Structure 1
Amino acid sequence: MTEIFDAIKHAAIGISRAIVNADTGATSHTNATGDTQLKLDVLSDHIIEEAFASVTSVQAIISEEKEVQTPLHVKGRYIVGYDPLDGSSLVDVNLSVGSIFGIYEGGISGANLKAAVYVVYGPRVELVIAHEDVRLYRLTPEGAFAFVRTLTLNPKGKLNAPGGTQQHWPAHHKAMIGGLFAQGYRLRYSGGMVPDLHQILLKGGGLFSYPATSDVPKGKLRMVFEVFPFAFVYTLAGGEAIDGNVPLLSLTPSHAHDTTPCFFGSREEIATVRATYANH
């Protein structure tokens, strides 16, 4: 597992440099789920693929930017599913973006996730590894990732990051979000999954939600590349992650690019979600 983490660190440094210097324009292509690919998406995907090419424990990789798996090493134990540059459309307005990695053994289901890593590219480059616990690292001027601290979630938080277009929210979800704000929760939503979930984790707790909506009834976020890795992080940090009713890590996609509604947060916020969605 260490060589996988080292490959991710190496790729993260390359991507951080690309964000600063590379072209942020769009390509003429779309990815497997129909999103327009930016040049940075493609470049980041290439950087990650190169980083894993020599990691013999990795059997295959599968990217949000590709339709099928890329085989690497026949005798490898792990499959790495990743989003090379989540929130890439925010780069041109200079907001934080990130990379997300899930390390699977025995197939790409929530139950088969063995570790998760994400990287935040912002004023500082930070990396979080969830394996035996959840650890925060920060890129130093010398080009190494230094350990900062172990991360845990409080039983109750104060931040609320509600995703999706509000006019498409179901009534019960809208009422739940309004109820949280009425209790004094603070709105924190950038449009980037990585920085928003990172903020909730570092600030001790709260709720990130992306529900089923009338325009995306199966949710927008992808299980293998985005949802499962963060569900693993939040669960290991002492929080919970559900689809509204069941734990996200109990789900199995029928296709690598399947999506799901998702809620990540502290235990009290997730209890509120369960109560809201119990009859829906």
Structure 2
Amino acid sequence: MTDPIDLGAFLDRWAQGNPVRADVAVTVVRMAEACCRIGSLVSLGQLAGDLASQTGRQTGADPQKEVDVRANDLIVKALKNAPVATLGSEELEWPLPINPGAPLAVAVDPIDGSSNIDSNISVGTIFTVLPARANGVDASSFLATGETQLAAGFAVYGPYTSLVLTVGSGTHIFTLQRTNGHFVLTQADVEIPASTREYAINASNYRYWDETIRTYIDDCLRGFDGPRGKNFNMRWTASPVADIYRLLARGGIFLYPGDVRENYTMGRLRLVYEANPLAWIIEQAGGSATTGCQRILSLTPTSLHQHTPFMAGSRNEVEYLVRLHQNPFGVGERSPLFGRRGLFRT
């Protein structure tokens, strides 16, 4: 039996004396240290104070909570000892200079799923590492496609703490060993099953979706008797990191489309520090990520906090959904052949 590999050793092997990779490795280790501290904070629950209390500030559609602020502070502190010029965060309106002139930039969602913090449901942290531009004094480092990412990861604070990471050579899962505070590699080269019978979406928004998304969900709900010819299960936690972690483990598709509600026309996930890192992790595990019309990693952000529709997971299911967007009447329960009043229905 081989000895377990911790995150530091894994990254040392990957860097192999390459200066750029070495800087990325240091930055990922610092982010992992921050995630370890955030996980400890979250695990205290009410013993850490009222983490669910609202600060009075909005971050997009979400009210900022005490846990968001404290997690952000832990990340800022950790990155002061990393080659990071600037930090873009959901909790900060503008990029924050860390070490101007350093070669890297980091963008984060310090607490993904913070609406669940008072319900003892898994939450997490999402981050991406990018090349720095303009010495880290403006937002330009964050306005490049997701294909420029140098590392991407997310932590899940659940029954155990996991760190999911890609540096462009597959997707790997590390588990926190609480006795020594090290993340240990527990699953290398994750492969998302290409097909699935499970989807994650907030079905309470059904009336706000466009016709394509409603058709897709209706097809799934009809199960074996519908055009898909198989039964589906639905899962939804309202913590994207938890839903994405589940599909890495057993396949599935996660959907957060745009809809007609105010502030939701472009979806809810932020492109730079949520959709891009999650999309890269999923693609590196053999899955796909799309807006429905475009590959997520091909999008060019126009602002740090830009939103995007996001649909990702098992490749075959994502491709089916893309085809449905491209030709709503080519497949699906409401097509001429399979509609409720179609030729083959009575």
TM-score (norm 1): 0.95
Give the secondary structure class of the aligned counterpart of 1:190: coil
CA contact (8 A) 2:291 2:308 kept: yes
CA distance in 2, matches of 1:162, 1:89: 16
User: Equivalent residue for 1:207?
Assistant: 253
Aligned-pair CA distance for 1:74: 2.5
User: Equivalent residue for 2:238?
Assistant: 191
Match of 1:168 among 199, 208, 215: 208
TM-score (norm 2): 0.77
User: Equivalent residue for 2:285?
Assistant: 237
Give the secondary structure class of the aligned counterpart of 1:42: helix
Aligned-pair CA distance for 1:157: 2.0
User: Could you list the runs of 5+ residues in structure 2 that have no partner in the other structure?
Assistant: 1-23, 134-140, 224-229, 329-346
User: Equivalent residue for 2:300?
Assistant: 252
CA contact (8 A) 2:52 2:117 kept: no
User: Equivalent residue for 1:116?
Assistant: 152
Aligned-pair CA distance for 1:133: 1.4
Structure 2 counterpart of 1:53, one-letter code: K
CA distance in 1, matches of 2:72, 2:64: 11
Match of 1:154 among 193, 199, 210: 193
Aligned length: 278
CA distance in 1, matches of 2:37, 2:269: 25
Aligned-pair CA distance for 1:279: 4.4
CA distance in 2, matches of 1:34, 1:158: 31
Aligned-pair CA distance for 1:158: 2.5
Query: CA deviation digits over 1:78-105, x for unaligned, max 9?
Result: 2111000011121211100000001112
CA contact (8 A) 1:26 1:36 kept: no
Structure 2 counterpart of 1:71, one-letter code: P
Match of 1:9 among 13, 17, 32: 32
CA distance in 2, matches of 1:139, 1:186: 30
User: Equivalent residue for 1:73?
Assistant: 99
CA contact (8 A) 2:258 2:266 kept: yes
User: Equivalent residue for 1:96?
Assistant: 122
User: Equivalent residue for 2:43?
Assistant: 20
Match of 1:50 among 59, 64, 77: 77
Aligned-pair CA distance for 1:262: 0.9
Of residues 160-169 and 245-254 in structure 1, the stretch that sits farther from structure 2 once superposed is 160-169
User: Equivalent residue for 2:173?
Assistant: 136
Match of 2:313 among 241, 265, 279: 265
Query: CA deviation digits over 1:33-68, x for unaligned, max 9?
Result: 25211111100000011000110x211111000011
Aligned-pair CA distance for 1:265: 1.2
User: Equivalent residue for 2:85?
Assistant: 59
Give the secondary structure class of the aligned counterpart of 2:269: coil
RMSD (Å), alpha carbons: 1.5
Q: Relative to total residues, which structure has the larger strand share, 1 or 2?
A: 1
